[in-house]
Amino acid sequence: MKPLIVLLVASFISLGILKIIYGKVEMALAARIGISIMFLFTALGHFMFTDGMAMMLPDFIPFKKELIYGTAFIEIIGAIALHIVPLRPIVAWLLILFLILIIPSNIKASIEQINYQKGTYDGNGLLYLLFRIPLQILFIVWIYLSSIKHI
């Protein structure tokens, strides 16, 4: 829920500021700023909740903590690179792929009731997916519309 709030608030604030600066609505740019701020916010969570997020990865994956840190850097680099015009389309597609690839971790977390913030097994369970999967789809569509299709 927090990433959604960050995305919406950052996008709407950006929209207002850009309207003042450019005198017109810059929807795609405001949306990119919003998704970038959201990715920076979620990257911070990878550093704060590393142990709990590592619990979300399948058992066969080695170097779980390192992978969590690596995905944080992917989010940070992606958030910045979305604003580099020549890189934007490929970065957008890579971020979409990234969001698709992390869905199994969210499924595992819900099945095992992982609370990644506490690093415990008292999370929301399958109800979490009713929110998380549509949220992932929203993030994917948001990136597509703001960085590939240009709303």
100-120 residue pLDDT tens: 999 999 999 999 999 999 999
55-94 residue pLDDT tens: 999 999 999 999 999 999 999 999 999 999 999 999 999 9
- Between CA 75 and CA 38 the distance in angstroms is 9
Tally of domains within the chain:
1
For residue 144, the one-letter residue type is Y
Kindly state the tokens that stand for 30.
Answer: 């405001």
Please check the confidence at residue 44 and state whether its pLDDT lies above 90: yes
- Between CA 24 and CA 16 the distance in angstroms is 10
Q: What is the pLDDT of residue 151?
A: 58
Please check the confidence at residue 129 and state whether its pLDDT lies above 90: no
Residue 80 exposed, middle or buried by CB count within 10 Å (0-12, 13-18, 19+): middle
Q: What is the pTM of this model?
A: 0.93
Parent domain of 32: 2-148
